[in-house]
Amino acid sequence: MEEQKLRTLLESMTLTEKIGQLIQVPGNMLNARGQELGVREDLGISEEILRNVGSTLNVTGAAQIRRVQEAYLRQSRTKIPLLFMADIIYGFRTVYPIPLALGCSFEPELLKRLCRATSEESVAAGVHVTFSPMGDLVRDARWGRCLESTGEDPFLNTEYVKAMVEGFQEGLSQEGACRGMASCVKHFAAYGAAEGGRDYNTVDMSERRLRQEYLPSYRAGVEAGCEMVMTSFNTVDGIPATGNCWLMRQVLREEWGFDGVLITDYAAIAELMAHGVAADKKEAARMAMEAGVDIDMCTDCYASQLEGLIREGTIRQEQLDAAVWRVLCLKNRLGLFEDPFRGAREEAEKQVFLKESFRSLAREAAVKFSVLLENKEGLLPLAPTGGKSGEARTGRIALIGPFADRKDALGLWALHGDREAVVTIREAFSETEGLEFAWCEGCETILPEDYTDLPALAAQGERKLWSREERNRQWEQAMELSGTADLVVLALGEDTIQGGEGGSRTRLSLPGDQMKLLREVRKRARKVVVVLFAGRPLVLDEVKELADALLLVWYPGTEGGSAIRDMLFGICEPQGRLSMSMPRSLGQVPLYYNAFSTGRPYDGHTPVRFFSRYEDCPNTPLYPFGYGLSYHSASYGPVQLDGTVLKRGETLMASARVTNTGDRAGSETVQLYLQDVTGSVVRPVKELKGTQKLWLQPGETKQVCFAITEEMLRFYGKDMSYQAEPGLFRVGICADSSGRLEGEFVLE
């Protein structure tokens, strides 16, 4: 629709019609089936407002969306179509690995491809907006939503968010294209820094840290043109984000120039009362409006309060109009006025859901994101299987563990994924010609002591617990199989319900009887390969000791089983590098590589008391950020610089020779780290500033070059200006963040 016509439409709207555009209701209020993800309450929204609401969430499916849209438009005076938004986080029907795994690819371009593919399925299912990507930086493994983040590094997160926004929105602005969906960057801001890793908890940090480490990824999303931003649940400097004028108006809108739609997280306006900054709904609605929040997700605060606030003049009519205008513009950019059903077509669903190219993308992704943590004596890849006897050179294989045949190992946010389409490890093994194996689960993933609500879930029939007999039977079978096998593939992990929203944990160990299972299997089997499913970093010290090989597959998605089989048997090699540090002990958390030095840095050797250290545990992680093995080995030559001085506007080249010292081709993820040795404020001990992936044949050497510029050295200095300060810098080209920074140059 032409802008002028849209303006005329806005001017023709009644107050109620305008307010309606700013309200999002759950699907059930529109007579639709949707996923309920918040605390369910009767919203008490009047019939009149309901007839005019602007959007709904997590209602998907072409047929349903067409029906709901049609019914809505039939009774609507303005004929402004509804917006359908949904949490499509890492795939729609085809599910890809969780974002924390995606973060381990060090390959933003691949994320862009995944998001483009996700968009294709979602558009066919009628979705207009996805609540993704999540740009929250994470450092605390206790937080369940680590699984939705791409990790602990601002540089990588920035690249990923940009790639994801571009991938989701590709084709969006092409007229009549019905391609791409609008992307909503969330949760603005710093939701990942909840104290104690407890979801929804207080966030409090200096403005410097916020700007330097937490804000860049959201900003990258805005600069990539995301159509929407979501406020977070948490406080930022004492003021909940949803009512935080500084954050929303000054930073987001004024400094970054964001002119898209700002939506709250679920019920966040009403939560301003629980936070204790608003006495009632009226104050809560006023605060959110003043902060520039456009859409109220699932409360009646705007619905019940805006009219009064406007009539009494507390909220100006222009403020309301500006918010409604942004919503209308989004609807217009999506082409909804011309075609309110947009891409929603059952025919298209049939063609695109789980199509072959998406499945192979899912398989590629699972391989690129899996991290090989241990491979003692080069046990993996297992020798190819074959021969009629079904005996691999590896010997008899037993597949044991609660994740051996698990269809729902997708992570909590695969809301719309097709569980039946998931390939489990057992299925992939069974499909492999010549591969004979025996299998059993051995134990359950969790027990009531791991998850307080488990008995209640079981009582409601939402979860099946094993009987004592079943437990014993499974256990005995596992013992028997491991005693007779030459090699056990043990598929262990965190239960899906332990992560995601509201999934905070105080223990980072493997739940249930799984450690006991590992110990007992270890006693009986000659070789043990642990395949680990997880949505966050876990404490793996004992697993590291007991396993001969340890392959972290996170929640690997629809093609997980096939990818795992391919990696185990060397059809391809795991390529992931950790995007979050793995602690040795829970007590180290929050743990991240790009920390500050202290006044008493500990060198890790001298046993002296008065240093910044733990008495009972090293400071270092068990596995550092950027770490991951492959089936080849590599050596890195010293870093070479083409000068010792960097001048503003110029470039300094850093290079190193990387050699494949193994006997198999493989991919190396080369990482550039810099350290600003002295600054007007304390600087991190190192920061990732560049990555390159190389494919190396056995014995092959490649020279890797990175250009260092003054822009890369900028930070928020003492006076909060964002600039590079002259002085000494160190440079390292390394295989992971534990590498040494040997090169030096001076910025003039």
501 is a site residue for ligand NOJ (CB under 6 A):
yes
Q: Which residues, 6 or more positions from 568, have their beta carbon under 8 angstroms from its beta carbon?
A: 380, 381, 382, 489, 529, 531, 551
Smallest CA-to-CA distance from 56 within 80, 87, 23, 88 is with 23
**In the bound complex, what is the minimum distance in angstroms from residue 132's beta carbon to ligand NOJ?**
8
What part of residues 86-105 is at the interface with ligand NOJ (CB under 6 A)? 87
Q: How many residues does the chain have?
A: 748
Per DSSP, 254 falls in state: I
**In the bound complex, what is the minimum distance in angstroms from residue 212's beta carbon to ligand NOJ?**
24
186 is a site residue for ligand NOJ (CB under 6 A):
yes
Per DSSP, 259 falls in state: -
Give the chain's largest Cα–Cα span.
84
What part of residues 48-67 is at the interface with ligand NOJ (CB under 6 A)? 57
**From CA 281, how far away is CA 273, in angstroms rounded?**
7
What part of residues 341-400 is at the interface with ligand NOJ (CB under 6 A)? none
**Cβ-based nearer residue to ligand NOJ, 200 or 593:** 200
Name the burial class of residue 678, with classes exposed (0-12), middle (13-18) and buried (19+) by CB atoms within 10 angstroms of its CB.
exposed
**Cβ-based nearer residue to ligand NOJ, 218 or 625:** 218
**In the bound complex, what is the minimum distance in angstroms from residue 344's beta carbon to ligand NOJ?**
20
265 is a site residue for ligand NOJ (CB under 6 A):
yes
**Cβ-based nearer residue to ligand NOJ, 212 or 498:** 498
Q: Rule CB under 6 A: choose which of 266, 451, 475, 592 binds ligand NOJ.
A: 266
Smallest CA-to-CA distance from 140 within 131, 127, 149, 130 is with 149
Q: From the candidates 153, 199, 265, 566, which is the catalytic residue?
A: 265
188 is a site residue for ligand NOJ (CB under 6 A):
no
Name the burial class of residue 720, with classes exposed (0-12), middle (13-18) and buried (19+) by CB atoms within 10 angstroms of its CB.
exposed
Contact yes or no for 533/555 (Cβ under 8 A) = yes
**In the bound complex, what is the minimum distance in angstroms from residue 192's beta carbon to ligand NOJ?**
12
**Cβ-based nearer residue to ligand NOJ, 110 or 267:** 267
- Give Cα separations from 649 to 654, 718, 722 (angstroms): 16, 23, 16
437 is a site residue for ligand NOJ (CB under 6 A):
no
**In the bound complex, what is the minimum distance in angstroms from residue 274's beta carbon to ligand NOJ?**
15
170 is a site residue for ligand NOJ (CB under 6 A):
no
Q: Rule CB under 6 A: choose which of 84, 92, 106, 131 binds ligand NOJ.
A: 131
**In the bound complex, what is the minimum distance in angstroms from residue 206's beta carbon to ligand NOJ?**
25
**Cβ-based nearer residue to ligand NOJ, 371 or 414:** 414
Classify strands 640-641 and 634-636 as parallel, antiparallel or unpaired.
Answer: unpaired
**From CA 135, how far away is CA 150, in angstroms rounded?**
8
Phi, psi of 724 (to 5 degrees): -85, 145
- Give Cα separations from 265 to 228, 238, 287 (angstroms): 12, 18, 15
**In the bound complex, what is the minimum distance in angstroms from residue 242's beta carbon to ligand NOJ?**
12
**Helix 108-124 / helix 154-169 crossing angle, nearest 10 deg:** 30
**Cβ-based nearer residue to ligand NOJ, 132 or 588:** 132
**Cβ-based nearer residue to ligand NOJ, 501 or 548:** 501
For residues 712 to 741, the per-residue mask of contacts with ligand NOJ, x marking binding by CB under 6 A and - elsewhere, is ------------------------------
**From CA 66, how far away is CA 81, in angstroms rounded?**
11
What is 382-414 written as a DSSP string?
A: PPPP-STT--BTTB-EEEESTTTT-TTTT-TT-
Residue 329: HSE in the Cβ half-sphere, 13 Å Cα cutoff: 15
Sheet with 727-734: strands ordered across: 645-646, 743-747, 727-734, 666-676, 687-696
Q: Rule CB under 6 A: choose which of 37, 101, 362, 591 binds ligand NOJ.
A: 37
**Cβ-based nearer residue to ligand NOJ, 59 or 563:** 59
**From CA 555, how far away is CA 493, in angstroms rounded?**
9
**In the bound complex, what is the minimum distance in angstroms from residue 186's beta carbon to ligand NOJ?**
6
Classify strands 651-660 and 701-709 as parallel, antiparallel or unpaired.
Answer: antiparallel
In the annotation, is 719 catalytic? no
Tally Cβ neighbours within 10 Å of residue 350: 11
**In the bound complex, what is the minimum distance in angstroms from residue 252's beta carbon to ligand NOJ?**
17
Contacts with ligand NOJ by CB under 6 A: the residue count is 9
**Cβ-based nearer residue to ligand NOJ, 275 or 730:** 275
**From CA 151, how far away is CA 138, in angstroms rounded?**
6
**Cβ-based nearer residue to ligand NOJ, 261 or 446:** 261
Which residue, judged by CB position, is nearest to ligand NOJ in the bound state? Answer: 131
**From CA 343, how far away is CA 178, in angstroms rounded?**
5
**In the bound complex, what is the minimum distance in angstroms from residue 390's beta carbon to ligand NOJ?**
47
What part of residues 395-424 is at the interface with ligand NOJ (CB under 6 A)? none
The residue ranges that bind ligand NOJ (CB under 6 A) are 37-38, 57, 87, 131, 186, 265-266, 501
Question: Which residues are part of the catalytic machinery?
Answer: 265
